[in-house]
Amino acid sequence: MSMLTPPGMGGKYRITGNRYPRMRRPRHRRRIVLASIATVCALSLAAWGTLQLIDIFSGSSSANASSGHDKSKGKGAECTTDAKSQAAEKGKPGDAAKLPEPDTIEVNVLNATDRSGLAKSTADELKKRGFKVGEVANAPDEFDGKVKKTGVVLGAPGEDGVARLKVLSTQLTDADTRFDERKGDDVDLIIGDAYKKLAKEKEAEDALEGLTATAPSSSGRGCSD
């Protein structure tokens, strides 16, 4: 019996020789190691891909934000330039030419009240202020006794007609503005029940200057959007 044979064992269990038997490692351990390595590699690759996607989208968002900021900045500069241009154009001597001078406006003075002499005295005052005076008479039936305010300024529609009525309106406080289908360039000042006298000359001049200062500017929408 060999020294390697445990006591009490023999026969087919007897161990001969003087070397220990070699034991092979189980093959499934190698598979576990390989699977672990593959899992680590897969997770690393997934993490790297996620970081790349985050960088791409973050870069795109930053670029869009920068582009939007540049556009907004450019738009603001454009609006500022337009505002400055309009402010510079406002008040130029050419604005005064958009409104007619009083001596180019022929005014018919018509009395719609039961007080006599108002048409004549008003016409004389308008003449002193530089207006051309046309007809001086009582108002026609459609206005006679029917104008409760200080008066009505009446003329043809259109840009020129509106401009003439605006200038005449500076001479009469709280007057209505109306239009008819007349062919001529004259305008009517119809005296109403609340009329006492024309506006003070200084007030009328200030009102006329105000119309000149606020002459219509170029059309277009302002900068909101």
The answer to whether residue 120 scores a pLDDT higher than 60 is: yes
Decide: 122 and 149 in contact? Cβ < 8 Å.
Answer: no
Share of the chain above pLDDT 90, in %: 48
Cα–Cα dist 118/139, whole Å: 11
Predicted confidence at residue 64, as pLDDT, reads: 52
Query: Can you tell me the distance from the alpha carbon of 55 to that of 59, in angstroms, rounded to the nearest whole number?
Result: 6
Tell me: the pLDDT tens digits for 169-186?
Answer: 999 999 999 999 998 999
Q: pLDDT-based confidence at 205, cuts 50/70/90?
A: very high
For residue 53, what pLDDT band results from cuts at 50, 70 and 90? low
Output the six-digit token pair for 21: 């038997």
- For residue 217, what pLDDT band results from cuts at 50, 70 and 90? very low
Burial of 7 (0-12, 13-18, 19+ CB in 10 A): exposed
Across the beta sheet with 132-138, the strand order is 132-138, 106-111, 187-191, 151-155, 175-179
Does residue 84 register a pLDDT over 50? no
Q: What is the mean pLDDT of residues 126-150?
A: 97
The DSSP result for 133-146, as a single string, is EEEEEEPPTTTTTT
Sign of the CA dihedral running 179, 182, 183, 189: negative
- Over residues 90-103, the mean pLDDT reads 64
- 17 compared with 152, residue with greater pLDDT: 152
Nearest to 167 by CA among 180, 179, 153, 148: 153
Domain boundaries, the chain: 28-89, 96-213
pLDDT at residue 110 in the model: 98
- More confident position, 204 or 56: 204
pLDDT at 212: 81
> Is 96's pLDDT higher than 70?
no
